[in-house]
Amino acid sequence: MASPPLGRFALGTASLGNLYAPVGDEQAHAVLEAAWECGVRYFDTAPHYGLGLAERRLGAFLKTKPRADYVVSTKVGRLLVPDPEGAARLDLADGYHVPADHRRVWDFSAAGIRRSLEESLARLGLDSVDIVYLHDPDEYDLEPALAQGLPAVAALRDEGVVRAVGLGSKSTKALAAGARSGALDLLMIAGRFTLLEQPAVDDIVPECRAHSVGIAAAGVFNSGLLATPEPSPEAHYEYGRVPPEVLATAREIAVVCTEFGVDLPTAALRYPLREPLVRTVVVGAASAEEVRQNHRRLSAAVPDGLWTALRDKGLVRQ
């Protein structure tokens, strides 16, 4: 079964699960509608995002659209188990402003992966998704997670349950192992192939090239640090505070971008697309205007001299 077309601009939905701050239903719908109006047809979600809230909101929106007109992916590896005792507190330990009325339980077994997908489909209100990713196997226990999870997701594809399978992670070790396995169609590389950091260049991209694995570049703003023209010490980095040396590097990059008349977020969005294996850039948004702004940035002119200058200053890898 052929891997579906993704388009250069995809919408990630962690923000619609109330990551960092609450987002109302109307605002979430406006984000999704703005993405659709901008031509986005690939939407990525996960049970992890707001303990299922992002999946439910995305599903409610997609009910209004023809199923043949979009591509949707979700993730497996974490099951959501009811936890009534947590309902009185928020899921802030994982960064989500939602009641902690469920808890995440790791399960990369074949049965667990199929159960996860079935429960995601119920939350989405869909009969199928197009792509399933193993989600953060490195945060559990990488070797057993891959030993169980890779053949399990490959079986879903081979049986025609999904069109493509992949692995999504911030871990270069996990991503390289996934590509090297030969079992996957896609990698969702989160934060490791960005204007700020390019460790994927060493191991992951060569393995993808060798095994014909496509790349979905996610986390291109490094959790928010590159999302504004002037990087702020108050921005998120790796879902936490920004180390001073990382902030200094981001500001150096921003200065070079300004010299070429390009704002930092535009360069951040465009950088991974220079690699032919990158099939899409997956970007989240908490407002409709953020979606529209990122869409404009993806169409903005960026002179080749910018990339040369950044490379010559040792700020990006070729």
Could you list the active site residues? 49
> How far is it, in rounded angstroms, from Cα 100 to Cα 87?
5
Phi, psi (degrees; rounded to nearest 5) at 219: 60, 35
CA angle 210, 170, 162 (to 5 degrees): 65
CA-nearest of 288, 234, 242 to 15 is 288
Which residues does residue 82 pair with via DSSP β-bridges, in sequence order?
102
Question: Tokens 């505070």 — which residue?
Answer: 241
Residue 102, sorted as left (phi over 0), alpha (psi -120 to 50) or beta, turns out to be: beta
> How far is it, in rounded angstroms, from Cα 231 to Cα 244?
11
Residue type, 125: G
Instruction: Give the pairing of strands 186-190 and 42-44.
Output: unpaired
> How far is it, in rounded angstroms, from Cα 39 to Cα 71?
12
